[in-house]
Structure 1
Amino acid sequence: MSATVPSPVVAAAPPGTSERRQRIVALLQARGAILVLVAAALAAGAAFPSFLHLGNLRDIATAASFLGLVTIGQCFVVILGGFDLSVGSMVGLGTVLAAYAAPYGTLGALLAPTVAGLLVGVVNGLLIVRARMAPFIVTLAGLLALKGLAVLLAGESLVIEQPGLFGRIANGNALGIGNLVLILLLCFGGAALLLNRTRFGAAVFAIGGNEEAARMLGVRVERVKILTYCLSGALAGLSGSLLAAHLSSGLSAAGTGYELQSIAAAVIGGVLLTGGVGTMGGALSGVLLLGLIENVINQIGSLSAAYQGLASGAFLLLAVIIQSGLSQQRTA
């Protein structure tokens, strides 16, 4: 008679272990960029004592404000499941339109680029929704067309002779904080509320997660898509207006590369390229992290600007790999 071999005893996972792991993974996915930003800032401060000086931190935040505004709109679009490659050229065109409008008043200089960006968003959204064209193709065409229009209107640059109040909006400060930084923080705060506390934000997440399921739940998918591209275009135009105020000129080449940098900042901040996941706090951390890299390379001095691209690309690749791993853990 053969002896019975006892079955190996498998220890059961403690109750709630899976839920706790899911919560930890979700927290890392949403807040990981903030932790990386803090760690990178401390490391930079240890390597360069001047890095953590208030003036240097203010410079980083100010320089990042223009890309930050663009990233807010891009974040909405990527969470929706799309891309907006026209935003960089819209920034350049925005500076030119602001320069033309500045002599007629500050309000016009702020509104003209913003409204133009809104209209570009309407066109992008309608072509994507009604003509069923791919967002990549539509917004790439917008990138080329807007860049050409900016050059036609201003050539290389258009100087604002007396920026006045318009210039002070971008270069002034309140309570020791630069106006540009305050505008950036207010816009990110408002965008966070819009994304997380409104039906529109819930619809953006739903469409990015599963468009057909969102449609079956009654979400007006076409309308939300158009509004999202309008938001992206308007923020790019506003960024161009503030950049013109900061530089006292309209530059047709301004914003070059912002379309890719804004996507990179969003992804580094935890926004999934496949859509449906992302936070504004993470996106802001991604923007500041890119600004930190640029600042550190400038402090080293002996390195060329190419190293900034290498470092940013490495961070982007690492972020995508980590996000992919975390997503698999959440679905496991």
Structure 2
Amino acid sequence: MTQGILSHPPATPVAADLRRAERIDRIVGLVQRQGAPAVLGVVVLAGAVAFPDFRSYDNAATILVAAAPPMLIALGMTFVIITGGIDLSVGSVYVLGGVVAAYASPWGLPAAFAAPLLVGAVIGVVNGSLVAYARMAPFIVTLAALLGARGLMRAISDEGSTTHLVRSDAFRAFGTGSFLGLGYPVWLAAALVLAGTLLLSRTRFGHAVYAVGGSADAADLMGVAVRRTRVLVYVMSAALAALAGAINTAKLGSGVTVLGTGMELDAIAAVVIGGTLLTGGAGSIAGTVAGVLLLAVVQNLINQVGSLNSNWQQVVSGAFLAAVVVAQTYLNRLRRVT
């Protein structure tokens, strides 16, 4: 009698299925969030074992300096992709921002940073407004912006024949100087990554970004400013891309006009490798950071080998991207089945 009262009723098939679905959902979420950091850790460990020079502090600093501009571009791209959009213009905005920064450098460091930020913000407003208010496809809008920004850069530089040199010692020092052994661009990128993380995870705007990516119609019914959110993420993306170009110009000492080709694809690859879904509604800044660093480490390891052409990075990036997309598709299908 007592045993019958105290014993738990047997689990029903429905309850067992629910527990199984919850367990699978937790595993899938863990893989999507921690997959890129785990792969990064494995690659770093393998590189440290295979190449003694790879594990030096100077080499780590070199990797971080090289990753700073791509980090800023991928940071803005993360916000755009989480809303379900895409920004193909960031490579052209990057090189345009670098040329504009060099052009404005005679007026000092503030102007060298402010001018490209302003140009990038204007491009972002145009992109975001066409996507949000004219309801045009982000792919078409930002592809047009890619061509327009590249054309504007060529107009400023006389078809690339005029090289604008950096005329500000302070701006040049920002690109080449360091603090605690790390270049100033690394510290700036780290500060902006931290700010982006807090913005995405701790503010109403960040919640709106996820809501728009999950379902724009549902977000609109909940009172989320869908159009404004979409405009703002494109402004952020273009402004950060232009800032990345300015940083690179400060480092090189001139506005180089032949850079930026394919950077939009590298940024998209890093964001997707970091676990952000191309369909929108899910992603994190931490994953993007891991994705950018993973690609930077791979490039550094290719340089360590020496006998391999740097173009192999594109092969590796493509392989990573294809593997991640296939994995995401499988995991999402597994979630729907359960």
Question: For the superposition of Structure 1 and Structure 2, which TM-score range results when normalised by the shorter chain?
Answer: over 0.9
Asked if the contact 1:95/1:254 (under 8 Å) is kept, the reply is no
Please give the alpha-carbon distance, in whole angstroms, between the structure 1 residues aligned to 2:213 and 2:247. Answer: 31
Q: State, as a whole percentage, how many aligned pairs show the same letter.
A: 46
Asked if the contact 1:113/1:237 (under 8 Å) is kept, the reply is yes
Aligned residue in 2 for 1:293: 298
Please give the alpha-carbon distance, in whole angstroms, between the structure 1 residues aligned to 2:14 and 2:22. Answer: 18
- Any idea what SS the aligned residue of 1:169 has? helix
Q: 1:54 aligns with which of 57, 64, 68?
A: 57
Please give the alpha-carbon distance, in whole angstroms, between the structure 1 residues aligned to 2:16 and 2:315. Answer: 43
Q: TM-score, normalised by structure 1?
A: 0.93
Gaps of 5+ in 1: 1-8
Asked if the contact 2:165/2:255 (under 8 Å) is kept, the reply is yes
* 1:284 lines up with 2:293 in the alignment: no
Q: 1:64 aligns with which of 67, 72, 75?
A: 67
- Displacement of 1:161: 5.0
- Any idea what SS the aligned residue of 2:134 has? coil
Aligned residue in 2 for 1:5: none
- Displacement of 1:160: 2.1
Which range moves more in the overlay, 43-52 or 110-119?
43-52
Please give the alpha-carbon distance, in whole angstroms, between the structure 1 residues aligned to 2:61 and 2:16. Answer: 49
- Any idea what SS the aligned residue of 1:84 has? coil
Q: 1:261 aligns with which of 249, 263, 266?
A: 266
* 1:210 lines up with 2:206 in the alignment: no
Aligned residue in 1 for 2:321: 316
- Displacement of 1:132: 1.7
* 1:92 lines up with 2:95 in the alignment: yes
Please give the alpha-carbon distance, in whole angstroms, between the structure 2 residues aligned to 1:196 and 1:117. Answer: 25
Matched AA of 2:26: R
Provide the alpha-carbon RMSD of the alignment: 1.9
- Displacement of 1:119: 0.6
Which range moves more in the overlay, 89-98 or 25-34?
25-34
Please give the alpha-carbon distance, in whole angstroms, between the structure 2 residues aligned to 1:129 and 1:13. Answer: 44
Aligned residue in 2 for 1:114: 117
Which range moves more in the overlay, 165-174 or 107-116?
165-174
Aligned residue in 2 for 1:26: 29
Aligned residue in 1 for 2:250: 245
Asked if the contact 1:128/1:135 (under 8 Å) is kept, the reply is yes
Q: 2:47 aligns with which of 44, 47, 65?
A: 44
Residue correspondences, number: 324
Gaps of 5+ in 2: 1-11
Please give the alpha-carbon distance, in whole angstroms, between the structure 1 residues aligned to 2:23 and 2:181. Answer: 42
Please give the alpha-carbon distance, in whole angstroms, between the structure 2 residues aligned to 1:300 and 1:204. Answer: 41
Matched AA of 1:256: T
Asked if the contact 1:147/1:252 (under 8 Å) is kept, the reply is no
Please give the alpha-carbon distance, in whole angstroms, between the structure 2 residues aligned to 1:161 and 1:173. Answer: 18
- Displacement of 1:77: 0.4
- Displacement of 1:166: 0.4
* 1:105 lines up with 2:108 in the alignment: yes
